[in-house]
Structure 1
């Protein structure tokens, strides 16, 4: 399998696996330990956070483009898929969800949302509730950017899809 290098453009929004949507604010060279390296400067869309990633390590860091319309349909299928009955105890299930969320993998994010919404404790103070809010925020922002809708509408699409157990919700074009 070969790696496709993503071209970065100042002003575009990309997805960081840990911090969600980030805007590319500058692409430039820096002298680090005597070596000139191209860096991508990023600024979080929803919080005050700035970071720089060497362009050569952008793919390794999990930086990726916003999901395409086809990719959104695939993610909706994951959200609508039947749940997996877990035989794990509460603490192991929480640890599994945390590892999935830390991975930055958008499919894992969808899995965690689906499982907590259907079977978990989404009370505000619960560990699952906190994970659900974080995961929903990240995914709904990406959906809103990809589908060009507001964040509340994107969240409603996600919640409606998760509620359609075993079925698939197709978005109109």
Structure 2
């Protein structure tokens, strides 16, 4: 159960802070909702508490785990070339999980591929979205701006 002030990550939307837990009437029944402020998109989300785990809402990872995963990210091995459709589908599934490490894998894979040859429009968009999601979580974890967090995602040349 989340509390007001908790830092959370909502897949496909980004990291945010729980601003309220309140009961609302919906279809004649009282239901508890979690209100989340997501700074990266300047959006507020209300999510039924009973659907929180199914939606993938989770606490942000801690600084130690983030540091370890970023180290792995900088030294990641890359899979052999997959056909575009298969690669796109695999990367989309990783992003949808909302797992920090899976998002880093997508960013690493697409950054690596972009150094070999230019990404197509869909993959550029996917890369930008994955970076935004990861940066939103890093900014809350490290208490830095999102642009500073995106700077942490730059791979060495």
Query: CA 1:22 to 1:82, structure 2 compared with 1: closer, same or farther past 3 Å?
Result: closer
Q: Which has the higher helix share?
A: 2
2:146 maps to 151
1:21 maps to 15
Normalising by the residue count of structure 1, what TM-score does the alignment of the two structures yield?
Answer: 0.76
- Secondary structure at 1:115 match in 2: helix
1:11-90 mapped onto 2 (5 Å cutoff): 11-90=5-84
Hey, what's the Cα distance between the residues in 2 that align with 1:51 and 1:153? 25
Number of residue pairs matched by the alignment: 156
- Quote the RMSD (CA, aligned, Å): 2.4
Question: For the Cα contact (< 8 Å) 2:34–2:47, is it kept in 1?
Answer: yes
Hey, what's the Cα distance between the residues in 2 that align with 1:131 and 1:123? 13
- Secondary structure at 1:36 match in 2: strand
Normalising by the residue count of structure 2, what TM-score does the alignment of the two structures yield?
Answer: 0.83
Hey, what's the Cα distance between the residues in 2 that align with 1:96 and 1:115? 11
Hey, what's the Cα distance between the residues in 1 that align with 2:62 and 2:149? 14
Query: Unaligned regions of 5+ residues in structure 1, if any?
Result: 1-5, 165-173
Query: Unaligned regions of 5+ residues in structure 2, if any?
Result: none
Q: Which runs of 4+ in 1 moved over 4 A?
A: 121-125
Question: For the Cα contact (< 8 Å) 2:56–2:97, is it kept in 1?
Answer: no
Hey, what's the Cα distance between the residues in 1 that align with 2:137 and 2:93? 20
1:116 maps to 110
Q: Which of these residues, 107, 117, 123, is aligned with residue 128 of structure 1?
A: 123
